[in-house]
Structure 1
Amino acid sequence: MSKTKPAPLPPDTVIGGYRIVRLLATGGFGLVYLALDASGQEVAIKEYLPAALATRATGELLPQVAPDKQALYRLGLRSFFEEGRALAQIAHPAVVGVHNFFRENDTVYMVMDYLRGASLQEFIVAARGRQGKKVLREGTIRSLFDEVLRGLRIVHQHKMLHLDIKPANIFITDDNRAVLIDFGAAREVLNTEGTFVRPMYTPGFAAPEMYRRSAASAGLGPWTDIYAIGACMLSCMQGFPPHDALQRQEKDRLAQALTRLRGVYSEDLLRIVEWCMALDPLSRPQSVFALQRDLAHEATPALPAPSSRWTRLRARLALFGWGRAARIASGNGR
């Protein structure tokens, strides 16, 4: 298979009744487009097209898959389709809305909300640039992840896992909603069944059980996403990702990282992060509900109104040239 990345669909291509406007993002697992529906409403369309398995020439619609990659390509395609079907049943403000999913051009397309705003990762970078004692305030962290956990709890109730929670996949919209985007279940299927040069998980946020390929799905559960939630909270506190889980298994420096944050954040919040990021899955919260209850247990100072919570950070983003431009992350460009 050629190392050339699959070419995106050209502007004005019509698929499933949607007209492609332009490419938004690309990565190892697929491509994301801005498109218009029949009424002229903007949507984001994600196309299943893993670069390790398929290629596509410029101007073509159909991907080319080598015979020895066909079985794995079909496995991932089926998982991606089922993921779209499951997400379409979830209606929650903290979970990206999936309006449609369909097969065409020997692949699958997922039609989602087109979000305007910036990722939590961009907010962390902007806050880190202030070089203050705290990256994000504790009240902001608690409020943000209470919102994220409400959405994640619904996802788990639908017997789904996200499997790629990280700051780049938590989107802060212009109307101040925290939204989980870019689910990774189909990606995990390919990572488990196939042989890839680059893993399809995100070091620092992936739980240790995600690194065990053989019968990996047997060890995955809500606790796997909860590990990533803890890692995201730690990133909001220290301004950069935690150490990779494999590094931690050799020499765990989490305690030292949390010690440096003592006196900056409450002992309760540090304890919650340590609980979520336990290397042993059985030592973590076993459900989102258990974590929600603990996160809300300690009273926190009154939070700013939602409309003003991110005002100063948005101003900082504008300095970096991000502004309030429309964005949606593909989450797989690693």
Structure 2
Amino acid sequence: MVEKTIIETGQTELPSKNTGSPPSPAQRTIVEAALESGVGTDMTADLRTKTIVEDDLFAPASKTPPGGPPAPPTAMIGKVLENKFKIIRKIGDGGMGVVYEAEHLHLKKRFAIKSIRAEFTENPNFQSRFDQEAKTQALLQHPNIIQVTDFLNVDGQYFLVMEYVEGMGLDKVLAQKKIDEDGILSVLKDVLKGLSDAHAKGIVHRDIKPSNILITRDNTAKLMDFGIAMLVEEDRSGRHSVAGTPAYMSPEQITNPESTDFKSDIYSLGIVMYQALVGKRPFDGDTDRQTQMNQVHRDLPPIQSVAPHTAPELARIIEKALKKNPQQRFASCTEFYASIEAYLRQIHLECRSCKFVNRVKNKYALKGEKCEKCGKPLSMKSKFTKIWAAAFAISGSIILIYLLYPWPGKLDVKTTPEDAIVSIDGEEKGNSPLEISLAPGEYKIEIKKEKFEVFFSPVLIRKNQKTALDIKLQKPDELPRLAFEAIKQSYQEASYLCRDLNDLAASKQNLEIAQSIGDSALTDAYRNQIDELEKNIQDGFDKYTHCFQDLKAINAEIRKNAYNRYVQSLADKGGSKANVSIVWMHFDQYVHQGRSDATWKKDIAKFC
């Protein structure tokens, strides 16, 4: 048996929480709705704890440990653990162990402490697993996770110390059928935020289900029992067994439990989402074994045939989360969250007259819907549209005038060695280093110095911009080798840029999702990652262009021969000529048009 602890309350008025999406007109706080249906009718106004015991096919049978039976739970009352946690009372008892309310003697703060039953700790590897799990659990500090604050080993008896939270299990809330679609999606978004934080730290829950989701008094959803499944997933012989609850387990968790990763948690939450919105679980069988076989082999029943009221967009979200193939599910919890948030944005529309938030089928495809409060037609268009259009037209004219005026540009020429003669369109302009203003357009540059190859190149001058040439003049006998090295180096720089550009695109997408879920830690991490990648990309294009500068200073025939030799060397190693041809095309563009990072990015992003 596996037990899950929740706190129920007899109070009927709870503060609502701003979830980031507008609530529906009839939405009430989740726990309030459940309580009104009778959950707390036999209770006093004080809080009390109940224990939910659920069948688990893989929980070990009860057994008297060596040395005699454990002390009865009442014997723990009044004891002090590690000179700081005083046991106040027993608040739960289940297959996993006994849960107590405790007071920290120094902090004067309440905690929930779970003692783990002896049969789970008999495995000789348990101690090391327990210590490792303690370090892992310390990483989980998130408002949507019940935090395990400490792990204790007192005379061979193991305890988990958790924050003490007042609320109600999602399983109880769903049983009352008093939570609407908006409320369910708000709970799921909270859970996804907590899971996203855990997954970012490499931690997988392995046992997502309604009884492991606590709805607090302020309507925040919190995940609990992180790490519990991991602690007990080995039997006494040290072999891996299956940890989890069959009705919520992913196919890979059943068939190959050692390979379970975060995609399994996404699947389990998909089952919770299906159950909450459809009203039943999709793969239940007559036995736990049959349920497991259904998870692995049975196709998901078409959601709209089972629950016709479900919006097609919402059905597609559930179906994606419940793909049998993990690679076809959401790539991350943040992507899962973003899909729910997009759906919520689609079905909520504020009336522009009275500001009432209406629930519609699709605010982007309105069909004469009217505001539920004031009765006026709903619209996505603003009365200020024409004003803004006129303002944009005026500003556009100003910008157009600025863009069309032929502002002069500058050419900055540097050479190694210096004091080379610089000619522009056949007219000598001076010796390097040289800076000169030129009207926008294309010019032919010639640079000469005794005992060095003559440098020829077209240069494009853009208005109000500086074009810099930093040319290393070459002696004739060095040119073939230098041309080959320049082509080789430019090819390598393009490979590095491809990797960074693809990483940047993924990081920007993840940043948007992290911002939409309000996770400041993930947002900061992705911003730092983006800053570093953008710096690397800028440096990479500088190096890429520098290779072209070196190559440009070499005679065209020598360049072409070097290119053919490098293509052949790649072919001998099984390399691709197509990618080298992209680099060569960029070099040709550089020679005739100048540097073009924006155009090159699109080509190089496909390079790898």
- TM-score interval for Structure 1 and Structure 2 normalised by the shorter chain: 0.7 to 0.9
CA deviation string 1:4-38 (max 9, x = no partner): 58543521121122111222233333332211111
Give yes or no for contact 1:35–1:43 (8 Å, CA) kept in 2: yes
Give yes or no for contact 1:94–1:180 (8 Å, CA) kept in 2: yes
Q: 1:239 aligns to what? A: 279
Give yes or no for contact 1:77–1:107 (8 Å, CA) kept in 2: no
| One-letter amino acid of the structure 1 residue matched with residue 260 of structure 2 | L
| One-letter amino acid of the structure 2 residue matched with residue 272 of structure 1 | I
Q: 2:117 aligns to what? A: 49
Give the alignment of 1:305-324 within 5 angstroms. none
| One-letter amino acid of the structure 1 residue matched with residue 281 of structure 2 | P
Describe the shift of the 1:90–1:193 C-alpha distance in structure 2 as closer, same or farther (beyond 3 A): same
Describe the shift of the 1:289–1:80 C-alpha distance in structure 2 as closer, same or farther (beyond 3 A): same
Distance 2:254 2:141 in 1: 31
1:186 equivalent to 2:230? Answer yes
Give yes or no for contact 2:212–2:224 (8 Å, CA) kept in 1: yes
CA deviation string 1:102-141 (max 9, x = no partner): 32221332211111111000000011xx6xxxxx422222
1:19 equivalent to 2:86? Answer yes
Give the alignment of 1:127-166 within 5 angstroms. 127=177, 136-166=179-209
CA deviation string 1:177-234 (max 9, x = no partner): 11000123424632694487xx642121111112235xx32x2111010011101111
Distance 2:323 2:221 in 1: 25
Moved more, 148-157 or 16-25: 16-25
| One-letter amino acid of the structure 2 residue matched with residue 13 of structure 1 | K
Distance 2:95 2:127 in 1: 14
What secondary structure does 2:162 align onto? strand
Q: 1:294 aligns to what? A: 339
CA deviation string 1:54-92 (max 9, x = no partner): 6xxxxxxxxxxxxxxx4x2x4234333333322223221
Distance 2:230 2:247 in 1: 20
What secondary structure does 1:189 align onto? coil
What secondary structure does 2:348 align onto? coil
- Quote the offset at 1:94 in angstroms: 0.2
Distance 2:274 2:313 in 1: 13
Moved more, 107-116 or 238-247: 238-247
Q: 1:227 aligns to what? A: 267
Q: 1:315 aligns to what? A: none
**How many percent of aligned residue pairs carry the same amino acid?**
27
CA deviation string 1:268-320 (max 9, x = no partner): 11111111111222221131122122222222337999xxxxxxxxxxxxxxx
Q: 1:310 aligns to what? A: none
Distance 1:116 1:274 in 2: 33
CA deviation string 1:232-252 (max 9, x = no partner): 111111333331342243433
Describe the shift of the 1:98–1:188 C-alpha distance in structure 2 as closer, same or farther (beyond 3 A): closer
Distance 1:212 1:187 in 2: 19
Q: 2:316 aligns to what? A: 271
Structure 2, unaligned runs of 5 or more: 1-60, 284-290, 351-355, 358-608
Of residues 151, 157, 170, the one that matches 2:213 is 170
Describe the shift of the 1:123–1:163 C-alpha distance in structure 2 as closer, same or farther (beyond 3 A): same
Distance 1:245 1:281 in 2: 17
Distance 1:28 1:159 in 2: 28
| One-letter amino acid of the structure 2 residue matched with residue 88 of structure 1 | A
Distance 2:129 2:266 in 1: 22
Q: 2:165 aligns to what? A: 115
Describe the shift of the 1:195–1:283 C-alpha distance in structure 2 as closer, same or farther (beyond 3 A): closer
Describe the shift of the 1:84–1:241 C-alpha distance in structure 2 as closer, same or farther (beyond 3 A): farther
Describe the shift of the 1:201–1:33 C-alpha distance in structure 2 as closer, same or farther (beyond 3 A): same
1:260 equivalent to 2:306? Answer yes
Give the TM-score of the pair, scaled to structure 1. 0.73
What secondary structure does 1:44 align onto? strand
Describe the shift of the 1:20–1:265 C-alpha distance in structure 2 as closer, same or farther (beyond 3 A): same
CA deviation string 1:136-187 (max 9, x = no partner): 4222222211111111111111110111110000000112211000123424
Greater share of helix: 2
Give yes or no for contact 1:276–1:285 (8 Å, CA) kept in 2: yes
Describe the shift of the 1:92–1:187 C-alpha distance in structure 2 as closer, same or farther (beyond 3 A): same
Distance 1:195 1:90 in 2: 25
Q: 2:36 aligns to what? A: none
Describe the shift of the 1:188–1:274 C-alpha distance in structure 2 as closer, same or farther (beyond 3 A): farther
Structure 1, unaligned runs of 5 or more: 55-69, 131-135, 306-334
Give the TM-score of the pair, scaled to structure 2. 0.41
What secondary structure does 1:32 align onto? strand
Distance 2:175 2:118 in 1: 29
Indicate the RMSD between aligned Cα atoms, in angstroms.
2.8
1:202 equivalent to 2:270? Answer no
Distance 1:302 1:143 in 2: 17
Give yes or no for contact 1:245–1:279 (8 Å, CA) kept in 2: no
Distance 2:77 2:349 in 1: 47
Give yes or no for contact 1:76–1:186 (8 Å, CA) kept in 2: no
Describe the shift of the 1:248–1:185 C-alpha distance in structure 2 as closer, same or farther (beyond 3 A): closer
| One-letter amino acid of the structure 1 residue matched with residue 210 of structure 2 | P
What secondary structure does 2:234 align onto? helix
Give yes or no for contact 1:205–1:242 (8 Å, CA) kept in 2: no
Q: 1:97 aligns to what? A: 147
